[in-house]
Amino acid sequence: MKIQNKLFYTSLVILTFSLSACSDTKETASHTKTTQTQEIQNPQGHWQVKGDYLSTANKHDIKTDLAQLTLISQAYNRKVLKMHEDVKTAGNNPEKIKKILVETNTIRDYFKQKYTELHLKSSEVQNIRTLIIDNFMISEQLYTLSMQADFSLNAPSEEFKQLSKRSMDLQQKIGTELEGLNAKYTK
């Protein structure tokens, strides 16, 4: 029973930390039309470009970049919500939960790649994307730690606790910055 609980709670923790708090799921009719047909292009991306090299306070660039980021974020959030439902359905079945954890890891890697492939023009959205990718990297570390044989959610290591706190702090920062940009530029 302890292994089942460990896997169940671990999967909940991994799913929680894989959320990047990166989307405002409200969609306007014009935004929906734009993003439903929009394809993410430019497979090389430039996520490591410093914000100093991109535009600043350019309303058009910010709106365009937010639309791209939101498109990926909404798709990611739909997958995460499905994973939450899968965890609930799996109950304490350790085999199902382990399968869900592996699938969650695969989904996170897929969306991390999608975020890195974006060619953004605004430093404001670039900074948010960098935070999102940083949070994905923390999530990878949490996943690795939680899959170790000696991992216990009831007594997680100090490293796990610190990474968890960093992830939560990043999620709050991402959410706050996105809310600010959406409030200022998407109305």
pLDDT digits (tens, 9 = 90+) for 106-155: 999 999 999 999 999 999 999 999 999 999 999 999 999 988 888 777 78
Query: How far is the C-alpha of 112 from the C-alpha of 76, rounded, in Å?
Result: 10
**Three-state secondary-structure class, residue 53:** helix
Q: How many CA atoms lie within 13 A of 56 on its CB side?
A: 4
For residue 60, give the amino acid letter: H
List the structure tokens of 27.
């969609």
Domain ranges within the chain, ordered by starting residue: 2-17+54-185
State if pTM tops 0.85.
no
Does residue 30 register a pLDDT over 70? Answer: no
Query: How far is the C-alpha of 94 from the C-alpha of 174, rounded, in Å?
Result: 33
Average pLDDT across the chain, whole number: 79
Q: What is the pLDDT of residues 161-186, one digit of tens each?
A: 999 999 999 999 999 999 999 999 98
pLDDT (0 to 100) of residue 40: 39
